[in-house]
Every structure is written in structure tokens, then in C-alpha cells.
A and B are shown apart, each in its own frame.
Chain A
Amino acid sequence: MKVLVAIKRVIDPYVKIRIKSDGSGVETNHVKMTMNPFCEIAVEEAIRLKEAGHADEVIVVSAGGIACQEQLRTALALGADRAIHINTTSIDTAPTDTDSCLEPLTVAKLLRSVMAIEQPGLVLLGKQSIDTDNNQVAQMLAAITQRPQGTFASKVVMEGNAVSVTREIDGGLESVKLILPAIISTDLRLNEPRYASLPNIMKAKRKPMDVKTPGELGVEIVLHQEVLEITSPPVRNPGVMVASVSELVDKLKNEAKVI
């Protein structure tokens, strides 16, 4: 079985983002970028499935500008076998940057085309990317390929032609059994991603990386949404320092009235 993992290049979660002064977006130039943390968990799970003998090959795929090849190389260094870069550089539909044309439905359609070529038994994605916070691509991909979905997975167990997925739901856990091929999105609890070793980073440079365009994959980019403005959230009122526990309890009871 092949496992396909979709990854995204995002701003490092530990970076304090800056909103562009014209409200057109968030500054991504000269900002530290990284693989989306939930995608790291998806890559890790795919590699573990291979190590356990459930997968023969792990393919990583990412859509975006040339720079996302960096994150694909990271995934190769972690243990993926080969990479596919869907290069969106030539797309000129987006006013500011090429990545904003990559709405979740578009990414799902690109991944559907890759699935049609590669025929994976399992597709792993992060549950959401920490930039746009959409939490949509896995579900949309499952819908348009008419395959089952195991979203917010905290445990994945292969069972012959099916996969058992434990899902994190509000208030607890739920288990579903999905017939392969299936689409799984990863939650934080699924695993702890490994770090790439230096020899593996060197080896990753020689692993194959295919570059395709949306046109080659037969996907026409259609925009469904227009971002009118990006603003800062309202600023909190400055707080006060209290000198003692009794003063704190008094304020919480009588001023804030929360206890």
C-alpha cells in the first residue's frame, strides 16, 4: 500500500505574526516558515506505518510556490520516499501572493488528481493548517473522491482492507472503521514527530521530487472567496497587579464577578 501525505508550508507557530498596514494580509516575507505542525504528525504516522510493514511507500505532496520544496525535503529527511510539488507559481489569479489562490477546495481537487495517478491506500493530512485555520481539506478530498474520512485522528490501526480510526470528538473519543482507500486527518495526540538526523537530511537531497502544475493535473483554479480585509483583533484592556491572594479573590468576586 502507498501512503500519500499532504503537507503545507506555514509561518512558524512561534513567530508573532505581523498584519500588513494596508490590511491586505499577513506579512510572510522574511518570516520564519516551517511545516505545519499537524502535517508533521501526518508525516510521522505515515513513516510509522511503513516501519510497521503496513506501507510500501510514503509519498509527500505540497502545493504552493517553489519555497515549499523546502518542507518537502524536510519530509523526505524524516523518512518519506519521494515528493510531489504542485507548483502554483504561474497562477496569476491571486492579487498578492500565489498561495492565497489555494483555497481548501482547490487543494482537495489537486490532491484528487494526485490520488488518481498514485492510487494510495491511505491519505494522511493534518486536521488544519495554523495559518488559515480552515480544517476543511481532508473532508473535502474525501467528499470529492467519495471515500470515507477519519478526521481528528488520535489512533490509527490497520485492519486488512480497512483502517480503524479513533477520533477526538468534543467530550471524548469515537472509533470508526473505514474501508480503504481512506482519508485521515491528524490530531495533536496521534504521535510525537521525530527530528531529522543530519545524514538523513543529506540523503533527502537525492530523493526524487516531481514537479507538476495545476494545469498538468487538470485542475482549473476557481476562487470561491475574496478576503476583503485582515485586521488585528481587539486589544485587551490593561490589567492590574494584585499584592495578595485575598486581594485577588476579592477582585474576582466583586469586580470581575467570575467566581
Chain B
Amino acid sequence: MRNSTLSTLIVAEHDNQSLAAETLKTVSAAKSIGGEITMLVAGFQCQSVAREASTLNGVDNVMLADDEVYQHPLAENLSVLAADIGGDYSHILAAATTFGKNLMPRVAAMLDVGQLSDVIGIESEDIVIRPIYAGNALAKVKSTDPIKVLTIRSAAFDVAAAGGEPASITELDRVIPTEISEFAGQQIAETVRPELSAARVVISGGRGVGDKESFALIEKLADKLGGAIGASRAAVDAGFVSNDLQVGQTGKIVAPDLYIAVGISGAIQHLAGMKDSKVIVAINSDPDAPIFQIADYGLVGDLFEVVPELIEAL
């Protein structure tokens, strides 16, 4: 149902070539609010992104700000542009990726409104559901602001399909240089393994893996399944892997289709980071390990026997 007083601005995330998958899911979230949807594409030589946005089912208008100053998404100038345009909308949305998390609170504060972070459900135009305490509780929150700024947890929404009536593209000439910050470089991980927070399959090792060398076993299983590697805090603290692989409340929160926990007892702090996975498998020698309470499939056994056998069987 459409309501003429509702209008949503989505700030698109892209690499100047194509839209991020998370932005496509944000369109679905926007559609559930109702009203017209406008997508703001700010970048450099990114006409292809604007064209892609214009064909998305549900997107009514596209605004394109194409200039060298927007080549790399810097919050300092992008927030000015988004807040400037966003002032005319009832809702401003972006995906809760590092792009959206970096940008949107800045946009909200410029408009002197609050932000609803990591929204997983939209009840109405001003009421949303969002996880708190690392997903151990869900909060139903009502915004009393005139403009609602939301970041959307993409795992909770479907991808918007292409194939709608092409939306019009309006070119903006508002160029906002930033003098207080500067893009200095980027290192995109050249790993063949998928990124931990976006992977479909995650294999995590814990203290039970024993030492750094034995972690190769976890890597082998991950490669066999095309998955990413994770670790419990115990494995990180013991120096088996670097702490950017930590899954848990203070590490990464993941929700893959398949999560295999190897040699992980299942402390609360770890469970908070993976308990929304679709299917959880636990391999542990201790039948009383708490991980078995949330595992869909549990196998009690010595991981040094079970994991090689599993690699063999796949």
C-alpha cells in the first residue's frame, strides 16, 4: 500500500561499477515501508551503477552525483550530500555494512535525529525490530523523529529484483570536497576464501585445535567447502590465528548457511556471534560441551580423526 507522505532515500553502496548486493536487499526493506523510493548514487564514472539502480523493481528515481571527489566513499563529504538531499524524505536507508555504518550516523546527526541500527524487521513506518546484546535480545523500537535514519541488516531481507519500469536518472552537480580527510589507500584481501562476514559456509576452530600448525586442518576443510575460516576467542588468545577471524560478541557476527564449530566448547560470547547461522554443526570430543545445545548436528569425537575423515568424505 502506498502512502504519499512516505518517501525513502537509499544511499547506494557500489564500487563505481555495480551496486553492492546489500544495497539490493535494502531496496526490499524500503519497499516494506511504502512510498516512493529514490536511490542516491554518488561516485566517480559510475553511470553504469545509476543505470543498474534505475532498473531495480521498486526504485522510482535515481540521483546521480558523479565527480572525482566521490571516487572513494568518505563519510565527511558524502554525509553532507546525503543529509542535504535526505532532508526532504521521511526515511533514509543504507545497508548495515561498514559503508553504511560509517556514513549513516553522521547523516543522522547532521539532521539532528537518531538512528536505528542494523534493522532486521520493519513493523510500520516508525517501528522497527533490531537485535541488541549481540542478538541475545530483540528490541522493538519506535522512532519519534521526523526523519527516520535506518541501517538495514541485509541477511534479514531478500534481494530486490531487476526488471521494473526504468526510473528516471537526475544528475546532481553538487560537489562537496573534503579538506579534513583524504583517502590514502586500500588493501582488499586477495584471499581465495570468501570474507568471513559474507561467507555462505564458515568453519571455525577453537582451543581444541591445539596449536597454530593444526589450524591447517580447519583451513583444508574450509577450502574443501569453499568456506571462510573463523575462530573462537580462545583460539585467538592462544595465538592460533589473528584476531580479525574471531567470531563472537566482540568479534564478527556471522549468519552463514552452514557453520561448523570444531573444538569449540560454545561459550556465550562465541554463540552470540554465530547462533543465527542456518545450520550449525559441532564436532567436539566433550559430549557435555554447551555447543551441542545449539547444534543442529553434533558429532562427538576426536577432531584429528573426524576432520580428515570429513575432508575425505566430501
Contacts and interface: CB of A to CB of B under 8 A. Distances in A.
A229 B244 CA distance: 33
Interface string B158-188: 0000000000000000000011111111111
A128 to B, nearest CB: 8
B129 to A, nearest CB: 9
A236 interface: yes
A220 B109 CA distance: 15
Given A11-B133, A188-B250, A252-B279, A140 B109 contact: yes
Interface in B104-160: 104-110, 112-118, 127, 130-145
Contact of A226 (B110, B113, B144, B269): B144
A136 B79 CA distance: 14
A89 B310 CA distance: 57
B181 A179 contact: yes
Contacts of B187: 172-174
B298 A241 contact: yes
A160 B52 CA distance: 43
B106 A239 contact: no
B185 A175 contact: yes
A30 interface: no
Does more than half of chain B's interface fall in helix, strand or loop, or is it mixed?
A: mixed
B258 interface: yes
B interface, size bucket:
35 or more
Contact of B108 (A105, A167, A229): A105
> Interface majority SS on A: helix, strand, loop or mixed?
mixed
A151 B250 contact: no
Nearest to A134: B117
A170 B99 contact: yes
Contacts of A189: 242-244
B105 A104 contact: yes
Contacts of A135: 101, 105, 117-118
B192 interface: no
Contact of B141 (A168, A179, A227): A227
B299 interface: yes
A259 B139 CA distance: 34
A228 B127 contact: yes
B122 to A, nearest CB: 14
B300 interface: yes
B313 A246 contact: yes
Interface stretch (B24-32, B57-65, B288-296): B288-296
A11 B272 CA distance: 14
B257 to A, nearest CB: 5
Contact of B76 (A137, A144, A149): A149
A203 interface: no
Interface of B: 72, 74-76, 79, 97-99, 101-110, 112-118, 127, 130-145, 178-189, 195, 197-198, 201, 225, 242-244, 246, 249-251, 257-258, 267-269, 272, 275-276, 278-281, 292, 294-300, 306, 309-310, 313-314
25 contacts: A13-B272, A26-B132, A105-B113, A105-B114, A130-B249, A133-B118, A139-B101, A144-B109, A146-B180, A168-B98, A171-B198, A175-B185, A176-B74, A178-B181, A188-B246, A224-B114, A225-B143, A236-B275, A239-B280, A239-B292, A248-B281, A249-B314, A251-B297, A252-B297, A258-B278
Given A149-B75, A248-B297, 9 more contacts: A139-B102, A149-B106, A152-B102, A154-B244, A189-B243, A229-B140, A231-B140, A248-B310, A252-B279
Interface of A: 11, 13-17, 19, 26, 37-38, 103-105, 108, 130-144, 146-149, 151-152, 154, 164, 167-179, 182, 188-189, 223-233, 236-237, 239-246, 248-249, 251-252, 256, 258-259
Q: Which 3 A-B residue pairs are closest in the complex by CB-CB distance?
A: A224-B114, A139-B105, A140-B109
